């Protein structure tokens, strides 16, 4: 009975609803080269003797800031032993306060190079200005563009032209369309080796340092051929949340993780509250194993297929 009342009195906008659906290609039409296509299903970014975005899960780990040779070397040895492939560490630091440690600059880059020589780990480090690109590119295997620089288009162009792989961190108030626009600029400048990084965004929630937008990771994996790295450290802001955020990042489909690790987090010159000590890092890496195995199984099942319309 109720059925006939509704059908007699209501015209449901079935056709109209279908009409307002847009495809992912339409929604991100400004950045076509970031999206998957029939020719480009995934990008493998070569770094030293491995690739990012392939079957192997990649871990980047190390201190927020490069402080001393011994701090960096001990961290490099530990993270390598626990399974990391890339050593992270900032030599040029974008600090919210002008009175905080700003990084050692060139001295920090030299420490990173010594740690690479000792351990064989690849190096990812931030470049903050276009003038520093040639110098940082001389030492780094991957150039990090930080959240605060994601929309510095001159920096993006110069970094792209260095030919080094770029780890592009999502701006803290950047939409995915904004992130894709920045990635498109790097691609347009002749550099195909872009790695996207979800590190949390600002929302009304302040309990965590940022809000970890894991939906972005799943969506990027669905529609983009570029690899994506999850950064649970900057998303959480608290070290006790980092293990869970790391597992969530893997489950969302990330190609790798970026985790801050320090020999003595309480004494760190930056981001100590979100840094793991060596024992905790080892524990996190061990706890990730089943999640990484699941990811590999899911990858094996997922055959490339055309992107569908937005529901
Ligand atoms: C960092 O990696 O230490 C950093 C400053 O990150 P973000 O740009 O994401 O804040
Ligand atoms: Mn940091």
**Neighbouring residues of 240: CB distance < 8 A, sequence distance ≥ 6:** none
* pTM to 2 decimal places: 0.92
Q: Which residues surround ligand 2, an ion (CB under 5 A)?
A: 64, 271
Rounded Cα distance between 168 and 191, Å, is 13
Confidence of residue 283 (pLDDT cuts 50, 70, 90): very high
173-219 tens-digit pLDDT: 999 999 999 999 999 999 999 999 999 999 999 999 999 999 999 99
Residues in the chain: 311
Residues 96, 102, 105, 109: is their CA dihedral positive or negative?
negative
Residue 234, ligand 1, Cβ within 6 A: yes
**Neighbouring residues of 253: CB distance < 8 A, sequence distance ≥ 6:** 217, 218, 221, 228, 295, 298
Query: What is the Å distance from ligand 2's center to 117 Cα?
Result: 23
Substitution site in 88, 126, 143, 151 for ligand 1 pocket (most atoms within 8 Å of beta carbon): 126
Report the pLDDT averaged over residues 73-82.
98
Contact 184, 34 (CB under 8 A): yes
Confidence of residue 22 (pLDDT cuts 50, 70, 90): confident
Q: Which ligand is nearest to the CA of 200?
A: 1
Report the pLDDT averaged over residues 247-270.
98
Rounded Cα distance between 255 and 195, Å, is 9
Q: What is the DSSP string of 264-299?
A: SGGG-SS-GGG-B-HHHHHHHHHHHHHHHHHHHHHH
Query: What is the Å distance from ligand 2's center to 193 Cα?
Result: 23
| Count of Cβ atoms closer than 10 Å to residue 298 Cβ | 11
Contact 135, 164 (CB under 8 A): no
Supply 264's token pair: 């003595």
Query: What is the Å distance from ligand 2's center to 55 Cα?
Result: 27
Reported as half-sphere exposure (CB side, CA atoms, 13 A), residue 25 has a value of 8
Q: Is the pLDDT assigned to residue 89 strictly greater than 80?
A: yes
What's the helix, strand, coil split of the chain in %, to 5?
45, 15, 40
Q: Which atom of ligand 1 is nearest to the CA of 90?
A: 3
Q: Which atom of ligand 1 is nearest to the CA of 271?
A: 3
Say what the pLDDT of residue 271 is. Answer: 97
Give the residues across from 23 on adjacent strands: 309
Q: Which atom of ligand 1 is nearest to the CA of 231?
A: 9
Contact 263, 71 (CB under 8 A): yes
Confidence of residue 311 (pLDDT cuts 50, 70, 90): very low
């Amino acid at each position: 009975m109720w059925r006939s009342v509704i059908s007699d009195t209501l015209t449901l906008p079935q056709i109209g609803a279908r009409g307002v659906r847009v495809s992912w290609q339409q929604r991100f039409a400004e950045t076509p080269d970031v999206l998957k296509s029939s020719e480009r299903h995934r990008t493998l970014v070569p770094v030293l003797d491995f690739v990012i975005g392939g079957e192997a899960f990649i871990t980047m780990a190390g201190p927020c800031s490069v402080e001393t040779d011994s701090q960096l070397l001990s961290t490099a040895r530990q993270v390598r032993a626990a399974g990391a492939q890339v050593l992270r560490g900032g030599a040029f630091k974008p600090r919210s306060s002008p009175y905080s440690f700003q990084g050692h600059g060139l001295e920090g880059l030299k420490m990173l190079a010594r740690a690479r020589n000792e351990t064989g780990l690849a190096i990812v480090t931030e470049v903050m200005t276009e003038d520093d690109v040639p110098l940082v590119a001389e030492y780094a295997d991957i150039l990090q563009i930080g959240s605060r620089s994601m929309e510095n288009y001159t920096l993006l162009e110069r970094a792209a032209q260095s030919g080094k792989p770029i780890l592009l961190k999502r701006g803290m108030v950047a939409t995915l369309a904004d992130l894709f626009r920045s990635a498109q600029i790097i691609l347009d400048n002749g550099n195909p080796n872009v790695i996207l990084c979800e590190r949390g965004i600002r929302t009304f929630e302040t309990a965590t340092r940022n809000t970890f937008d894991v939906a972005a990771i799943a969506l990027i994996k669905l529609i983009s051929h570029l690899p994506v790295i999850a950064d649970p450290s900057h998303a959480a802001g608290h070290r006790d949340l980092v293990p869970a955020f790391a597992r969530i990042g893997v489950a969302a489909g990330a190609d790798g993780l970026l985790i801050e690790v320090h020999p003595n987090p309480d004494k760190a010159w930056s981001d100590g509250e979100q840094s793991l000590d060596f024992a905790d890092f080892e524990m996190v890496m061990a706890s990730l194993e089943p999640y990484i195995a699941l990811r590999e199984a899911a990858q094996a099942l997922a055959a490339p297929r055309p992107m569908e319309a937005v529901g």
